[in-house]
Amino acid sequence: MIDNHIEKAAQIIRNGGLVAFPTETVYGLGANALNPIAVAKIFELKERPSFDPLIVHIASIDNLKTLTQNVDKNVIRLTEKFWPGPLTIVLPKSKIVPDIVTSGLNTVGIRMPDNEIALKLIRAANCPIAAPSANKFGNLSPVSAEHVRKQLPNVESILDGGNTSVGIESTIVSIDGNVCTLLRPGVITISDIENALPNTFVFNAEKPDKLIAPGLLKSHYSPVKPLYIFDKQAMNLPESSGLIAHGKKDFIPTASKIIYTSKTFNYLEIAANLFSALHAMEDDENIKQIFIEPVPELGLGLAIMDRIKKAAYKYQ
């Protein structure tokens, strides 16, 4: 049945239309990456500023070579170690990549998602698929088909693959010889990259005053209700508060609604459930403001806190 849906969705992509589809990270809003008109529809539907470049999704390593330049040993190593998976690699683009995909940059971000539906869709469409997260610009990323429907009710086709497993967007790195730069943290951490590339310098590009990837904007991925990072000293939450916690505690403040992203403070679980918890609070009419527990910024905690801080930025 789903194969049938995938075939129809692939036809929509081939005809220049848009399809929302699951990946292991978040749902994407996809178009044929080689068709600039189709790609323009993504910006229109998302209300996305045109300066924000898109990630191109592929299902075969051959596509990496036709879409980019400088595929050297380090790049191959990363693809062997992490693809299919939640790692986007930014490389100089080849001529066939339309400017609208990269917003005029001479580099393009490529990844091979670790999701059967996504891979089948790319193969059936027979073209690379440019896809940002399938949300309105600046809003929460969708981790289920329902989340996509909520924000983008007019999308032509949504492939429903249930909840995504990773739950936060891919790690983004750019690579230039033996220098690798982390542009957006994700479940693949700096030390994972360092271990894969022993003779390479790995930098964290996050400098608050320098815009490298718009995903690094201080405010991004925000829910439509006030969100505050939970201060453990302030045990009395105001009325109609929702609390998102990450592990059972001895002492927990009273809140109208409590959602645990994990029972045991497991980082992979927290990442996987983070956006779902925010969506659930956003959808609950009885909740007026949301409090969220911080996590230590170590390993995957860096990516989790990155999303939490951006979501809460407006309210700090």
Q: Is 23 in the site for Mg ion (CB under 5 A)?
A: no
Q: Is 144 in the site for ligand TXA (CB under 6 A)?
A: no
Q: Work out what residue 22 binds among ligand TXA, Mg ion, none; the CB cut-off runs from 5 to 8 Å by kind.
A: none
Chain residue at closest Cβ approach to Mg ion: 133
Q: CB of 221: closest distance to ligand TXA in angstroms? A: 9
Q: Give kind and range of the element (H or E) at residue 310.
A: helix 300-312
Q: Work out what residue 272 binds among ligand TXA, Mg ion, none; the CB cut-off runs from 5 to 8 Å by kind.
A: none
Residue 115: partners with Cβ closer than 8 Å, 6 or more residues away: 22, 23, 24, 84, 161, 164
Q: Is 306 in the site for ligand TXA (CB under 6 A)?
A: no
- Phi-psi group of 6: left, alpha or beta (phi > 0 → left; psi -120 to 50 → alpha; rest → beta): alpha
Q: What number of chain residues touch ligand TXA (CB under 6 A)? A: 27
Q: CB of 104: closest distance to ligand TXA in angstroms? A: 10
109-138 positions binding ligand TXA, by CB under 6 A: 109, 113, 131-133
Q: In the chain, what is the greatest distance between 2 CA atoms, to the nearest angstrom?
A: 58
Reduce the DSSP state of residue 84 to 3 states and report it: coil
Q: Is 301 in the site for ligand TXA (CB under 6 A)?
A: no
- Rounded CA-CA distance 58/2 in Å is 20
Residue with tokens 């459930």: 273
Pick from 45, 50, 47: nearest CA to 153:
45
- Rounded CA-CA distance 154/214 in Å is 25
Q: Residue 293, Cα to own-chain centre: how many angstroms?
A: 21
Q: Is 274 in the site for ligand TXA (CB under 6 A)?
A: no
* Binding segment (CB under 6 A) for ligand TXA, from list 102-110, 151-159, 236-244, 304-312: 102-110
Q: Residue 9: exposed, middle, or buried by beta-carbon count in 10 A (0-12, 13-18, 19+)?
A: buried
* Binding segment (CB under 6 A) for ligand TXA, from list 52-60, 66-74, 267-275, 277-285: 52-60
Instruction: Give whichever of 42 and 112 is closer to Mg ion, judged by the CB atom.
Output: 42
Pairing of strands 87-92, 107-111: antiparallel
With CB under 5 A as the contact rule, the residue among 25, 102, 133, 276 that binds Mg ion is: 133
> DSSP letters along 146-162, please?
HHHHHH-TT-SEE----
Q: Is 54 in the site for ligand TXA (CB under 6 A)?
A: yes
Instruction: Give whichever of 75 and 87 is closer to Mg ion, judged by the CB atom.
Output: 87
**Window 152-181: contact mask with ligand TXA (x via CB under 6 A):** -----------------xx-x---------
Ranges of H-type helices in 199-293: 267-283
Q: Which residues bind ligand TXA (CB under 6 A)?
A: 23, 25-26, 28, 52-55, 86, 88, 90, 102, 105, 107-109, 113, 131-133, 169-170, 172, 183, 213-215
